[in-house]
Structure 1
């Protein structure tokens, strides 16, 4: 296993724990808010778990393109299009069975609530970007959504290694490998979403 691929062990272990808790059913429709490395891994794992159709949203064009290539059936750039409308159009107004918020922004949790179907699942796989966040609990209650939070993996490391070794997780999630002395520039690139950046690996000789 390459060093770059090995850096996916920990986040993939978290995703395996997520799938244990959420229990996606074969044929489910799934939405993912956020097409960064965690969001893309979420979509891939949802597919492995049996999801029939996967929607993913992001406002960064190159992330949307990568997600469409390796993880999603429908990828939406929310800088120019409505994710809600795309989901409703493709589900005949029903919404999705399971929606994951992997972006940790106030607007994405609202979007997640709105694209979920009645009785669907809302899964929060992030560390909040702000301490206090306004949430449309009235809509969540009206839909009787099941809300699941995630903290970490749970003894899933060995399974993550085996899954990576199986070749089912594309290494192109890692978009950049940079030497240690370029670490500040790598953080600047990440902050600016520049140069097609996804997951960055810092190489230490």
Structure 2
């Protein structure tokens, strides 16, 4: 039997979002209906609204979510009704060339629900990142549900669904930060401070936060930064080198994703150091640099998608660390808002006044 719930929809490029009735069909054999308890307001949702992802409007926004499994398809065997889950957009297939190589975090054929949610007039919705969780309930593939400790706060652990995991993973998975390493993070929004928290958790001893916003730098210190650099007041590369005995950092993470910040990351690393790009560039951005510099510096230049996360491996571990008080995920939640407040949350996000607004249902 189909269900009707309220959800947040972006109907056209740049249009203000609206709260509308969403029709959820019966789940397919491997699909799951989840009653959403909380969903973070991520910059990717704003990209969808502004046409920066694709033009497959209307979109059902929201993807950083946690909730309870309410109904399962006939073939579902990984979760059951009543399970508390964090949703993810990397439901690995197990069959593609990446999965067969033992690198499922690069899966090239991830799963989504087999049937579409719609508006009341039958118009099919495109769920953000295959999730669409600014809604009272949503329909996803069973592989998009990761069971975690049910005593966790949904507003907190749901953030692992995207931005916070991207930052943590950029440091711990992609950057392979280890004990005693020096790490610099350029850009201290939600992803950047996630990388700082990940670097601390991994045992880095020098953690340098770089931003132009004093408030963000203060938050970075609260989450593990040992040093801060105001990028508006001097040369970032020189400042990072001065804090690392003149050599540069072992790992530099660009959480902004602009040519100028990537160039800073490249030159601010030690010889044979690692650069991790986790900030998302726009399609028109280009980079021109002397090829000899790539050769002479050595090391690794990496891009990090979703923090190279494998949700079934990483989410339960990180939630347990949070529950033990070793990972302060709760500090990423700046405010809790209602389903009708998403447009206002976008405006707050643009001002850089929050790490995360979280819609609580």
TM-score of the two chains, using structure 1 as the length reference: 0.88
- Note the alpha carbon deviations across 1:73-130, whole angstroms, 9 max, x for none: 1112212343223212112210011111111122210110111011101111232233
Match of 2:195 among 42, 63, 66: 42
Structure with the greater alpha carbon radius of gyration? 2
SS at match of 1:8: helix
- Note the alpha carbon deviations across 1:141-166, whole angstroms, 9 max, x for none: 32113112222322322222222222
Does the CA-based 8 Å contact 2:251-2:269 persist in structure 1?
Answer: yes
Larger RCO, structures 1/2 (Cα 8 Å, 6+ apart): 1
Distance 1:108 1:183 in 2: 30
User: 2:305 matched to which residue of 1?
Assistant: 151
Does the CA-based 8 Å contact 1:96-1:115 persist in structure 2?
Answer: yes
Distance 2:283 2:214 in 1: 25
CA shift for structure 1 position 167 = 1.9
Distance 1:113 1:17 in 2: 16
Aligned CA distance change for structure 1 residues 183 and 64 (closer, same or farther; 3 Å): same
User: 1:190 matched to which residue of 2?
Assistant: 349
Please say if 1:68 is aligned against 2:221.
yes
More divergent stretch after superposition (119-128 vs 158-167): 158-167
User: 1:8 matched to which residue of 2?
Assistant: 159
Does the CA-based 8 Å contact 2:170-2:253 persist in structure 1?
Answer: no
User: 2:210 matched to which residue of 1?
Assistant: 57
Does the CA-based 8 Å contact 1:32-1:42 persist in structure 2?
Answer: yes
The Cα RMSD (Å) is 2.0
Does the CA-based 8 Å contact 1:60-1:77 persist in structure 2?
Answer: yes
Distance 2:233 2:252 in 1: 21
Distance 1:77 1:49 in 2: 25
Aligned CA distance change for structure 1 residues 24 and 5 (closer, same or farther; 3 Å): same
User: 2:175 matched to which residue of 1?
Assistant: 22
Please say if 1:180 is aligned against 2:336.
no
Please say if 1:113 is aligned against 2:266.
yes
Q: What are the equivalent positions in structure 2 for 1:104-143 lying under 5 Å apart?
A: 104-136=257-289, 138=291, 139-143=293-297
Distance 1:94 1:18 in 2: 20
Distance 2:245 2:170 in 1: 31
Q: Which has the higher helix share?
A: 1
Distance 1:130 1:176 in 2: 32
Match of 1:169 among 318, 327, 352: 327
More divergent stretch after superposition (71-80 vs 3-12): 3-12
Does the CA-based 8 Å contact 2:258-2:285 persist in structure 1?
Answer: no
Aligned CA distance change for structure 1 residues 167 and 26 (closer, same or farther; 3 Å): same
Distance 2:321 2:160 in 1: 9
Distance 2:178 2:203 in 1: 6
Please say if 1:90 is aligned against 2:250.
no
Does the CA-based 8 Å contact 2:171-2:253 persist in structure 1?
Answer: no
For these two proteins, the number of residue pairs brought into alignment is 202
Distance 1:141 1:4 in 2: 45
Q: Which runs of 5+ in 1 are unaligned?
A: none
